[in-house]
Amino acid sequence: MYTEKLMQLFMNPKNVGRIEDADGIGEVGNPVCGDVMKIYLKIEDDRIVDVKFETFGCAAAIATSSMVTELVKGKTIEEALKVSNKDVAEALGGLPPQKVHCSLLAEEGIKAAVDDYLAKKGNTKREASETKQCAKA
């Protein structure tokens, strides 16, 4: 069963659309269920000043896309990268177990868009720091 908050964002999602001159674009998908998310970021002084999404998928995919845009808007890149799929799910009041993958796609979409932004700037800082974290595990 979906929460009221999830249904509200499914029926009236926020930040839908694309940013034509986006600084970073992330596209992620789940081949099992067919959900595809595309996240667009506009960044000024390392802060996300605008974020939009286009999602093809179920109600949970659309709602998690909308929620993650709300959670990262106005944050620095570093702060946005700390937004987890659990944060997205909690902000929606929870997700059914079979839909948790939608919140993971939302998290991955933001990270992919940031990676794209950093690559365009010729910076691979995030990838290097993640590699170090994996080596420690």
Q: List active site positions.
A: 33, 102
- The residue type found at 100 is V
82 burial level (CB within 10 Å; 0-12, 13-18, 19+): exposed
| Cα–Cα distances in angstroms (integers) from residue 29 to residues 33, 35, 97, 122, in the given order | 9, 5, 18, 25
Taking Cα atoms as reference points, which of 24, 99, 43 lies closest to residue 67?
99
Place of tokens 């034509």: 20
